Structure 1
Amino acid sequence: MTHAPAHDTVSSPFEGILPGAPLPYFLRNGEGEKSIVFDTVFDILLSADETEGQYGAFTTIGPKGDRIPAHQHPTTHEIFYVVEGAVGLWLDDQADYHEKRVLEAGDFAFVPKGIVHAYQNLATSKIFGVGTGGFERFFHGIGTPTDSAEIPTRPYIPPFEQMLAAGQKYGTVFLPEFSFRD
């Protein structure tokens, strides 16, 4: 039995993949709500709809690449757990905490709300992430739907307007002028 997602009354390409309510379910490897953002596949495994707004869970898989732009989430806590590969992670509280770490398979990081951060895949990497409920849909807002769990051969470059709209809707503030202490 499929359930229409509670987050959207209009048909979406993701309709019926997740239950849309706090019901038990299982996903096989590669199943979930997938979107391409640049050269990375984001796969939502659990959304705020299933957790009554508490949290969402997702994976990313992408190739070695450039650091994503500095940004912060005013209301979202986020975790990074590296499943495969290696990821550079920059954190800055804009006061006295400045940190850059390389996370390898099995390493974990917590990014509290309000912390400026960015990451970079230093090799082909898979990350498991969890964020405050609702944030997970940011990846759909900024990306384009896909059925493939594979790293895309053609990246999806979102128009700037799409990035800004997704940021406003899902609580992401882009800070293109921010400079991390490397």
Structure 2
Amino acid sequence: MPDPNSFSTGQPGADHHEHQIALSIRGHNIGLPIGLNYLGVDSRANLRVRAYADNPVASSAIIRIATWGDIILNSGGYTWFEVGKNDRAFQYGIVSTMRLDQSKEIFQEILFEKAFAEPPKVISWLNLIDIDRNYNCCIYTDVRNVNRTGFTLHIATCADTIVHAVSTTWIAHPTNRSNITSGSYLTGDFRP
């Protein structure tokens, strides 16, 4: 079974625009779904950050967290998941969109390449964000209406957030495997 992995930039370095990790991959033909898991950025510029892999080839890849424009990335982190491209237990993909304005949301219907025996568990991560600094910064992704053949990916903003671009990674896996656990947590889920 593939293992989830993570990386963080830790303390800010001299280069505030790109941090990377080189890694060995356990086999050929590996896919690397990647998602951001935390950000520490300067608030004087648009929030522009992306997590991605360069050339996952035979046995290695470089995974990067990068910014553009005048944003300063003080710290950040991402999680990735090594999945064989022919692995029948896992399916994954990326959905990108441009411009989400003021409390807008999108719903994208996703069809699995191959139907699951029963509705799978699906998780989603943001992997690219470009948000206007002059407004609130609130964006999230989740999944809905999961069935054997697909699901609905939901991306939404809060308040007056202006999103110029966003990209989301999703991963689907069987629910009947005791060695696989996934889930999500929102700070608003638990209140004292």
**TM-score, normalised via structure 2 length:** 0.28
Larger Rg: 2
Which structure has more RCO (C-alpha within 8 Å, separation ≥ 6)? 1
